Amino acid sequence: MFKTGIPDIAPAKAKRGLLPEKARERLLNAAGEVFAERGYRRATVREICRRARVNVASVNYYFKGKEDLYTDVLEFAYRQARQKYPDSDAAGRGGSTESSLFGFVRLFLLRILDEGRPAWFGKLMAREIVEPTGALDKVIDRAIRPLHESLESLVREIVGGRPRDAEIRRHVFSILGQCLFYRHARPVIARLHPDVRFDAAEIERTARHIAAVALSGMKPRGTAR
């Protein structure tokens, strides 16, 4: 009984950035996989530990428990996604606001649809949005609200004129909705159109389509309202 059982703070956290981090890192990766596949509830710490080739007690040693492991995984996945597809690729760069919109959509799609190595980010977000776990508030503050606000100001620019808040909001939702559908409804899409593959080229075409639809909806025309 050299300790109360749980270290107040994950011990390895201090050494962050060093190479020999094995167990904790493996746990994060394995947990990301399993949480993404099964969701928070259906994921078992035993399977996570099995995949990480680590003892079951480790998750309580390095993290406080399953819940804290999950929030750490969310944070981890968010950083990975941003690192793989940095903001600089598209955000408020030079060029027309119209092309900025396309860039935004493209970047967003890439991040949420990526199926590469750590593909968890999109899946974790999709689940968290539809079925919050208590970590949602943190996710909103860290990831969703900034994204939402930057898109909102973009829309405000494009619509121009005297912007009514409700209309701006609806346009923002239309854009986000079109994008997120490809993530949320993936199981359904796969069954309705088994042939379509969402590789880089298809994502590119999809981004073009969404940006075009959104733009034509926002450009002053007699149709709307």
Partner DNA sequence: CCCTGTCTTAAACATATGTTTGAAACAAGT
Partner DNA sequence: ACTTGTTTCAAACATATGTTTAAGACAGGG
Footprint on this chain of DNA (rule: CB under 7 A):
1-2, 5-6, 11-12, 15, 22-23, 42-46, 54-62, 65-67
- Give least dist CB 123 to DNA, A: 18
Residue of 187, 194, 197, 201 interacting with its own copies (CB under 8 A): 187
**Pick from DNA, its own copies, none: which does 11 bind, CB < 5 to 8 A by kind?**
DNA
- Give least dist CB 127 to DNA, A: 15
Nearer Cβ to DNA (68/167)? 68
Q: Give the number of C-alpha atoms closer than 13 A to the C-alpha of residue 100, restricted to the C-beta side.
A: 18
Q: Does the CA dihedral 210-213-216-219 come out positive or negative?
A: negative
Query: According to CB under 8 A, which residues from 126 to 185 bind its own copies?
Result: 126-127, 129-132, 136-137, 140, 144-145, 148, 166-167, 169-171, 173-174, 176-182, 184-185
- Give least dist CB 169 to its own copies, A: 7
Least Cα distance to 101 among 143, 158, 148, 147 occurs for 158
Choices 5-13, 44-52, 59-67, 190-198; region in contact with its own copies by CB under 8 A: 190-198
The contact set with its own copies (CB under 8 A) reads 39, 41-42, 126-127, 129-132, 136-137, 140, 144-145, 148, 166-167, 169-171, 173-174, 176-182, 184-185, 187-189, 191-193, 196, 205-206, 208-210, 212-217, 219, 221, 223-225
